[in-house]
Amino acid sequence: LAKDFPMPQSPIRVLFVCHGNICRSTMAEFVLKDMVARRGLAEQFRIESAATSTEEIGNPVHPGTAAVLREHGIGGFEGKRARQLRRADYDAFDFIIGMDTANIRNMNWILGGDPDGKVLKLLEFAGTNRSVDDPWYTGDFETTYADVCDGCEGLLAYLGM
């Protein structure tokens, strides 16, 4: 990982961001929630997700995302509704993690910059600058799930968990 952070205090506050907050960022939110719960660390985290656009605000999780999460035994997302990233989120979270380069650009614009270096691309935690492809366009929710898992495991390894 290119950046080095001071270790955040508990709870560690993570916000995942993608374009619409119905596919990738939502998948990452619930994958990481599942990973920390399985490790007995749920109380040490606050994990949410948001969108850079307004297109899907208020909408539920995409059916493809819901199906792949269920297929892997992950639940709890039924009440999730898309919300937009807000400038106030910058101070409310320790890590603000986007899925692709366009997300990062839009996140920095919405947040008014990244003076503390909190804005990262998910797969940086997996040792690559590659983007998580948007299954809204690819239709490949399994590949997105694999990438999200790699990034979330990398984040937990970075945090020493």
Residues annotated as catalytic are: 18, 24, 134
Cα–Cα dist 37/45, whole Å: 10
Cα–Cα dist 86/83, whole Å: 9
Cα–Cα dist 88/110, whole Å: 10
Terminal-residue alpha carbon distance, the chain: 16
Q: Please state, as a whole number, how many other Cβ atoms lie within 10 Å of the Cβ of residue 93.
A: 22
Q: If you count them, how many residues does the chain have?
A: 161
In the block, tokens 């639940």 appear at: 75
